[in-house]
Amino acid sequence: MVVVFALVALVVLAAFAALHRYAWLRLVRDTTRGPGLARRTGTVVMVAGPLLMVAALVAERAGAPFWLQRVLGWPGFLWMALSLYLLLALLAGEVVRPLVARLVERRARTKDTAPIPAPVPAGTAPTEPKPEPEPERETAAREEPSSSSRRLFVSRVVGGAVAAAAVGTVGYGTYGVLRGPAVKRVTVPLAKLPRSAHGFRIAVVSDIHLGPVLGRSFAQRVVDTINSTQPDLIAVVGDLVDGSVKDLGPAAAPLAQLRARHGSYFVTGNHEYFSGADQWVEEVRRLGLHPLENARTELPAFDLAGVNDLAGESEGEGPDFTRALGDRDTSRAVVLLAHQPVQVHEAVKHHVDLQLSGHTHGGQLWPGNFIAAATNPTLAGLDRYGDTQLYVSRGAGAWGPPTRVGAPSDITVIELASTQA
């Protein structure tokens, strides 16, 4: 097993190195006139970027000193996103490159064949100029530098467009995350909901991912956005953090400011089990949230239940639907908090009316949405499985790169509707 893992790791590293070499060839070597400052600078960037990315990943997973995680996090994780879009833009550039080269070649030929009339003295009739033949060696010598210059020009035009497209995409996607999640409003009808609870609002937030990159100021922005919706209940459905309570306790402190008439509730996500789930459960409880660890609470109009994330199974703290949902009054509606959408299949078996989840990030970085859609029953939004409705939030933050492309972050206000109203 160890040998297989090592071989897979070597294949991944080899592919990773090959892709970066290809990027170096197109963006650095082909756009510079031999060795010099420009080529050396480009080479340093193309080597330092992937090294910082790997270092940032290792530092976070290995629990390196938090100051080091923060130093490596921004450049390392941003390079992760930038390298993806550099590669995609380079592939598009390979399609465009022959067209640009053809246009440049055609323009050069037109310029070379255009006749240049000789000046005619006043009072004399124009005569036909007699071109003097040039030696073949001189003609070839002139054509070679011209052809080389055109290739360099094409490489610089395509390379510049590739770099601009990648940097612009990552820059806009990062700005979208840092400015904070938008508020979505979704109405969900529940047949068992009493008329008195018609219009009950649940603010759903998932995947905040506080860590070396997104810290206290981001948490404050999320809290302020949630409170501005004036919800009746707040549901934090996992992946709150990427790090220990010791490192991220101050960053999570704004959660104590969450306000809702029926309180704030929390369930674990897979990243909590990478970060010390037991300690985080106690920390969110100290901040005023109510952890639902395979548990249920009865609200005036419906039951609210929560199950642990699937990642907890390795620690003997996996989801237990029977414990959370057994022996309940089935005539009452039940809303389940479960981090991963795939848990909906167990929810259907236990006659859950509505499951609230996150985990997918909506794909976060296009075309990652295709991978996320293939591995989750629902990528984002409202769906139905039998008699159970499933709502999946795209999440408020981001894992790894603080960047989203094609999957904007959100906080969703679920408004429950009684079919009896």
pLDDT band at 176 (very low <50, low <70, confident <90, very high): very high
DSSP state of 265: E
Sign of the Cα torsion 143, 144, 145, 147 reads positive
Give me the amino acid identity at 99. Answer: L
Taking all residues of the chain, what is their mean pLDDT, rounded to a whole number?
91
pLDDT, residue 10, reads 86
**Rounded distance between C-alpha atoms, residue 48 and residue 89, angstroms:** 20
Is residue 399 predicted with pLDDT exceeding 80? Answer: yes
**Rounded distance between C-alpha atoms, residue 383 and residue 361, angstroms:** 16
Sign of the Cα torsion 353, 359, 361, 365 reads negative
Which residue's structure tokens are 């990552």? Answer: 170
pLDDT, residue 267, reads 97
Angle CA(355)–CA(357)–CA(361) in degrees, nearest 5?
155
pLDDT, residue 2, reads 67
pLDDT, residue 116, reads 58
pLDDT, residue 112, reads 64
Which residue's structure tokens are 């109510």? Answer: 290
Quick: pLDDT tens for 194-251.
999 999 999 999 999 999 999 999 999 999 999 999 999 999 999 999 999 999 999 9
pLDDT band at 289 (very low <50, low <70, confident <90, very high): very high
Better-predicted residue by pLDDT, 144 or 102:
102
Give the containing element (helix H, strand E) for 28.
none
Mean pLDDT of the region 133-158? 69
Which residue's structure tokens are 């369930």? Answer: 267
DSSP track, 131-157: PPPPPHHHHHHHHHHHHHHHHHHHHHH
Is residue 136 predicted with pLDDT exceeding 60? Answer: no
pLDDT, residue 129, reads 55
Cis upstream peptide for 367 (omega within 30°): yes
Is residue 327 predicted with pLDDT exceeding 70? Answer: yes
pLDDT, residue 123, reads 59
pLDDT, residue 157, reads 93
Angle, to 10 degrees, between the axis of helix 2-27 and the axis of helix 66-113?
Answer: 40
Sign of the Cα torsion 387, 309, 257, 222 reads negative
pLDDT, residue 127, reads 56
pLDDT, residue 131, reads 57
DSSP track, 285-315: HHTT-EE-SSEEEE-SSSEEEE---GGGGGG
Q: 0.75 exceeded by the pTM?
A: yes
Mean pLDDT of the region 89-104? 91
Better-predicted residue by pLDDT, 316 or 344:
344
CB 177 within 8 A of CB 406: no
pLDDT, residue 109, reads 77
CB 365 within 8 A of CB 404: yes
pLDDT band at 61 (very low <50, low <70, confident <90, very high): confident
Share of the chain above pLDDT 90, in %: 80
pLDDT, residue 106, reads 84
pLDDT, residue 113, reads 67
Alpha-carbon radius of gyration of the chain: 30
CB 172 within 8 A of CB 360: no
Is residue 298 predicted with pLDDT exceeding 80? Answer: yes
